[in-house]
Amino acid sequence: MESNYNLETRFQERIDREEKIEARDWMPDKYRKTLIRQISQHAHSEIVGMLPEGNWITRAPTLRRKAALLAKVQDEAGHGLYLYSAAETLGATREQMIEDLHTGKAKYSSIFNYPTLAWADMGAIGWLVDGAAIMNQVMLTRTSYGPYARAMVRICKEESFHQRQGYEILLTLCRGSEAQKAMAQDAVNRFWWPSLMMFGPSDKESTNSAQSMKWKIKRKSNDELRQQFIDATVPQAEILGVTLPDPELKWDEESQHYNFGEIDWDEFWRVVKGHGPCNEDRLKARISAHEKGAWVREAAVAYAAKQKEIADQKAISA
Ligand SMILES: [Fe+2]
Ligand SMILES: [Fe+2]
């Protein structure tokens, strides 16, 4: 039996050579645990993320908008399923992951604990929230764990559709009446800062980051990704003609980046710890959907058992 020291050294060498780690490969326990936590958290975010937008499907202003929003929300369900499956390859069970979400043990992205108050919020979410998610997810297409990286490739294609449909909603509103412009501006004002918080605590505070970078689970730090998002988004705001609610936002010639104001980290931690405007509602909605769906799961299991019985009988009589 090889010593753990050797196994870990060889594991790191494979990562350094840019080899993908696959489900059956040896991996340090902490690598497995970190990935299960991260992937399941990501899966929960996709599923809980359906709630704020699902709220607007019946109120979309046109049939075209309704079809696009419906497709987008369905995509998010699909993302959740790919990700739960990716976490299962590491030995996590679906039941345990769902249980951890429902009991509050597992987290999901705090952005979904903010309410969607107006139609323009669908635009702001697509543009800013999916836009911020893409920054993170494009990086994850190159993450060291194979099943996670491959799930991300497909997810990213769909995310760019989400971002564009959001931007187009805002573009239409910004070219519309004064009231429509004001609605778009208000949505951007409410979602700007929470979107920046999606990248997580600053690098000085982020405890797991160094190890995740070494294992190439992450390839860019929270602050790097946040800066990249801001740099890409400010010019898009200019095209829309909306302002971003940060008086300190300013292009810096020297660094070739935008400078920006201080994030309200008290608010960030408050929402992470369960005290955001919608934390309770979101969990209630998830638990209720899970309970109401129990008969579907039971019927699927009963059907699978029946099919197996028929197949077994055929095999015996053959
Ligand atoms: Fe998604
Ligand atoms: Fe999305």
pLDDT, one tens digit per residue, over 83-116 is: 999 999 999 999 999 999 999 999 999 999 999 9
| 284 CA from centroid of ligand 2 (Å) | 22
- Which residues have CB under 8 Å from 161's CB, separation 6+? 72, 75
**Per-residue confidence (pLDDT) for residue 1, from 0 to 100:** 59
**Per-residue confidence (pLDDT) for residue 207, from 0 to 100:** 73
**Per-residue confidence (pLDDT) for residue 73, from 0 to 100:** 97
| 122 CA from centroid of ligand 1 (Å) | 14
Residue type, position 8, single letter = E
**For every one of its 318 residues, what pLDDT tens digit does the chain have, with 9 covering 90 and above?**
567 779 999 999 999 999 999 999 999 999 999 999 999 999 999 999 999 999 899 999 999 999 999 999 999 999 999 999 999 999 999 999 999 999 999 999 999 999 999 999 999 999 999 999 999 999 999 999 999 999 999 999 999 999 999 999 999 999 999 999 999 999 999 999 999 999 999 988 877 788 899 999 999 999 999 999 999 999 999 999 999 999 999 999 999 999 999 999 999 999 999 999 999 999 999 999 999 999 999 999 999 999 999 999 999 987
Residue-wise pLDDT for 33-87, tens only, equals 999 999 999 999 999 999 999 989 999 999 999 999 999 999 999 999 999 999 9
**Per-residue confidence (pLDDT) for residue 91, from 0 to 100:** 96
Q: Which ligand is nearest to the CA of 131?
A: 2
238, exposed or middle or buried, with CB in 10 Å at 0-12, 13-18, 19+? exposed
Cα–Cα distance, 7 to 3 (Å, whole number): 6
**Per-residue confidence (pLDDT) for residue 2, from 0 to 100:** 67
| 1 CA from centroid of ligand 2 (Å) | 45
Tokens representing 213 are 């970078």
| 168 CA from centroid of ligand 2 (Å) | 15
Which of 239, 230, 236, 40 lies closest to 132 in space, CA to CA? 230
What 8-state DSSP symbol labels residue 251?
E
Q: Which ligand is nearest to the CA of 44?
A: 1
- Which residues have CB under 8 Å from 264's CB, separation 6+? 193
Q: Which ligand is nearest to the CA of 160?
A: 2
